[in-house]
A and B are shown apart, each in its own frame.
Chain A
């Protein structure tokens, strides 16, 4: 008797489990099929394309030819990777330190905090194409607001996005010193793009930092104050370590974001004057020259570079971040 009662029960439970699994797959199917078709498949397809001379006409198998071309000494890939790294190394620390400072200021007992937050977040919401079109005109040497402010302060106007000279060279020339070429620094056009990027992303990063600051229990501060910690010590020994998961996260997404940056650079400089980053180079090779094979090879190399940076960051974080 016992066997005959339990057997149907078990099979009933199995049936219920099977039905639940079936339902799950049905619910997942639309999203997963779309990922499969438009993300997973293109990765393999891109690898395949990258092994060919793939243009509009007949294509021929090249093996690793596109990669060899990209990695060859004197190819345009290396300068573009250099531009990408320069952009990251300039934009990330500037953005993060300003965003953290502003978050720290806004975290004090401030009137109108909500208003400041809304206003500073605004640039992130709006179209980068439109705002970089506005900034390109603010930077204009002739009719730009920035140069007219400089002139009214009695300073020399600059050529901003049109300037391919390095910023150190410009400063040195201003002081009457001549610098060797390898010390020229990033081009002023690149620095201008970085300033724009800072304007766009500071409010976004600040919002993440504010959330992180809100997660630090206030008892920690009170305990430290009772022990006689001053303001700097509070920041150094409580805020900074307890905020480190947020900081790590913000740094990670900012680095990845800068390595993929495209829209605003395209609108402001089209990659001219030392701003041809890898993502601009990929787009130009494909859009202007229809070199799908070469562009795919470049994209794979850039993705590898991003992956490498992410792994290094994770390693660093494992030793520095306090969870």
Chain B
């Protein structure tokens, strides 16, 4: 709290104090921000550096064992070694890690396509159409959003086993709970509500019905919100662990996040550099995606302000 109270004081001083004091305050702000910035990235840097160290350098705690500070050579073959240790997929003959990547892309692709499509359609109904029980249905959607995942985790998993849906250890089980997302409906609806009603009246005069209007006018207008939703669903599904772990039995059905946890409990547990090599391969695609698209993330989160 000391910092919070300190700053507005600094603000006041800015108006009256001589330039020297002002610069000191600014320097302090930058110092705090830079320290926090470094703390934010240092685990990633440590992960990256560790992933190319040899075992000895990891154990002797050398942060930078390479020239000019040391004489080790970077070991890029840690990645190949880690992939080799994760094993081979008997179905395809591919390394199991690539199978995990394929599963992840498949699951993520299905979830993104389905959640975006169902959200756009439902959001249009809530934003643009009049129909009986609209409020009740909207409250229902709102309620599914508020329900803690813990409450439905066990019954959902039981539903997947052979006495019920018999989807255990299949792609349908892995994606089922994420195919529709109340968050997406809110996000897109919020956007649709901002589109002036006159646009619809104009489209109608031109002979367009609701579906045509949705496809030709609303969806292009809501593109930023749709991209935001697609990106968020992508990273949430990529990072999903607990559900996939619960409904898959064999390694060849797992995704990269679940595969990483499995690796940590086996070879990765003792070979930190190999564990970090796998972690890099799980995290790096997301970091790159985020760096190119980061404005969508902050905008999406601040316009709806939801989902922690």
> Which residue numbers of A lie inside 8 Å of B, CB to CB?
17, 20-21, 23-25, 27-28, 30-32, 34-35, 37-43, 45-46, 49, 54, 97, 100-102, 104-106, 108, 110, 115-123, 125-131, 133-135, 137-138, 140, 142-143, 145, 148, 199, 201-204, 207-208, 210-211, 225, 230-236, 239, 249, 253-254, 256-257, 259-260, 262-263, 266-267, 278-279, 282-283, 286-287, 292, 295-296, 299-300, 302-303, 306
- Min CB gap B119→A, angstroms: 7
Which A-chain residue is minimally distant from B130 (CB atoms)? A20
Q: Choose one: A46, A120, A145; the contact of B151 (CB below 8 Å).
A: A46
Q: Are B129 and A20 in contact, CB atoms less than 8 angstroms apart?
A: yes
Q: Are A303 and B150 in contact, CB atoms less than 8 angstroms apart?
A: yes
- Min CB gap B292→A, angstroms: 11
B202 within 8 A of A: no
- Min CB gap A237→B, angstroms: 10
Q: Are A292 and B180 in contact, CB atoms less than 8 angstroms apart?
A: no
- Min CB gap B245→A, angstroms: 8
CB-CB contacts below 8 Å: B266-286 with A: 268, 272, 275-276, 279, 282-283, 286
CA distance in complex: A110, B185 (Å): 36
List chain B residues, Cβ under 8 A from A279. Answer: 150
- Min CB gap A39→B, angstroms: 5
List chain A residues, Cβ under 8 A from B50. Answer: 137
B174 within 8 A of A: no
Q: Are A138 and B180 in contact, CB atoms less than 8 angstroms apart?
A: no
Looking at A42, A120, A302, which has the most chain B CB atoms within 10 Å of its CB? A42
List chain A residues, Cβ under 8 A from B245. Answer: 287
Which A-chain residue is minimally distant from B181 (CB atoms)? A31
Q: Are A49 and B158 in contact, CB atoms less than 8 angstroms apart?
A: yes
List chain B residues, Cβ under 8 A from A286. Answer: 153-154, 157, 246
List chain A residues, Cβ under 8 A from B308. Answer: 201, 204, 253-254, 256-257
- Min CB gap A211→B, angstroms: 4
Show 25 residue pairs from A and B whose CB-CB distance is below 8 angstroms, ordered by the A residue: A23-B125, A32-B141, A39-B152, A42-B155, A43-B155, A45-B159, A102-B32, A105-B29, A108-B11, A125-B286, A126-B286, A130-B283, A133-B264, A137-B272, A143-B272, A145-B42, A145-B63, A204-B308, A207-B302, A230-B12, A231-B8, A253-B307, A259-B148, A299-B150, A306-B148
List chain A residues, Cβ under 8 A from B235. Answer: 125
Q: Are A119 and B150 in contact, CB atoms less than 8 angstroms apart?
A: no
Which B-chain residue is minimally distant from A310 (CB atoms)? B146
B13 within 8 A of A: yes
Q: Are A42 and B159 in contact, CB atoms less than 8 angstroms apart?
A: yes
Q: Are B46 and A42 in contact, CB atoms less than 8 angstroms apart?
A: no
Q: Are B33 and A299 in contact, CB atoms less than 8 angstroms apart?
A: no
Once A21-B131, A28-B121, A102-B33 are accepted as A-B contacts, the answer to whether A119 and B264 lie under 8 Å apart by CB is no
Give the total number of A-B pairs whose CB atoms are below 8 A apart: 292
Once A135-B43, A148-B61 are accepted as A-B contacts, the answer to whether A129 and B239 lie under 8 Å apart by CB is yes
Once A28-B137, A101-B3, A125-B287 are accepted as A-B contacts, the answer to whether A282 and B121 lie under 8 Å apart by CB is no
List chain B residues, Cβ under 8 A from A202. Answer: 36
CA distance in complex: A129, B262 (Å): 11
Which B-chain residue is minimally distant from A267 (CB atoms)? B261
> Which residue numbers of B lie inside 8 Å of A, CB to CB?
1, 3-5, 7-13, 15, 29-30, 32-33, 36-37, 39-44, 46-47, 50, 58-59, 61, 63, 117-119, 121-122, 124-126, 129-132, 134, 137, 140-141, 144, 147-159, 176-177, 179-180, 182, 185, 210-211, 235, 238-239, 241-242, 245-246, 257, 260-261, 264, 268, 272, 275-276, 279, 282-283, 286-287, 290-291, 294, 297-298, 301-302, 305-308
CA distance in complex: A140, B44 (Å): 16
Q: Is the interface of A mostly helix, strand, loop or mixed?
A: helix
Once A145-B63, A235-B8, A303-B150 are accepted as A-B contacts, the answer to whether A121 and B125 lie under 8 Å apart by CB is no
Q: Choose one: B15, B147, B185; the contact of A39 (CB below 8 Å).
A: B147
Q: Are B241 and A97 in contact, CB atoms less than 8 angstroms apart?
A: no
CA distance in complex: A22, B12 (Å): 61
CA distance in complex: A40, B146 (Å): 12
Which A-chain residue is minimally distant from B117 (CB atoms)? A30
Looking at A34, A117, A278, which has the most chain B CB atoms within 10 Å of its CB? A34
Q: Are A24 and B129 in contact, CB atoms less than 8 angstroms apart?
A: yes
- Min CB gap B298→A, angstroms: 5
Q: Choose one: A110, A126, A129, A299; the contact of B153 (CB below 8 Å).
A: A299
CA distance in complex: A253, B9 (Å): 30
If A28-B137, A30-B118 are given as contacts, then 6 extra A-B residue pairs at C-beta distance below 8 Å, sorted by A number, are: A30-B121, A43-B152, A115-B37, A137-B272, A230-B8, A239-B8
CA distance in complex: A323, B156 (Å): 39
- Min CB gap A8→B, angstroms: 21
- Min CB gap A213→B, angstroms: 11
CA distance in complex: A45, B46 (Å): 45
Once A30-B118, A46-B155, A286-B154 are accepted as A-B contacts, the answer to whether A134 and B131 lie under 8 Å apart by CB is no
CA distance in complex: A231, B37 (Å): 26
Q: Choose one: A127, A145, A260, A278; the contact of B149 (CB below 8 Å).
A: A260
CA distance in complex: A104, B4 (Å): 8
CA distance in complex: A157, B276 (Å): 23
Which A-chain residue is minimally distant from B146 (CB atoms)? A310
Q: Choose one: A105, A128, A133, A278; the contact of B239 (CB below 8 Å).
A: A128
CA distance in complex: A140, B43 (Å): 13
- Min CB gap B266→A, angstroms: 13
Q: Are A35 and B290 in contact, CB atoms less than 8 angstroms apart?
A: no
- Min CB gap B177→A, angstroms: 5
CA distance in complex: A118, B297 (Å): 10
Which A-chain residue is minimally distant from B239 (CB atoms)? A127
Q: Are A127 and B119 in contact, CB atoms less than 8 angstroms apart?
A: no
List chain A residues, Cβ under 8 A from B141. Answer: 31-32, 35
CA distance in complex: A21, B133 (Å): 10
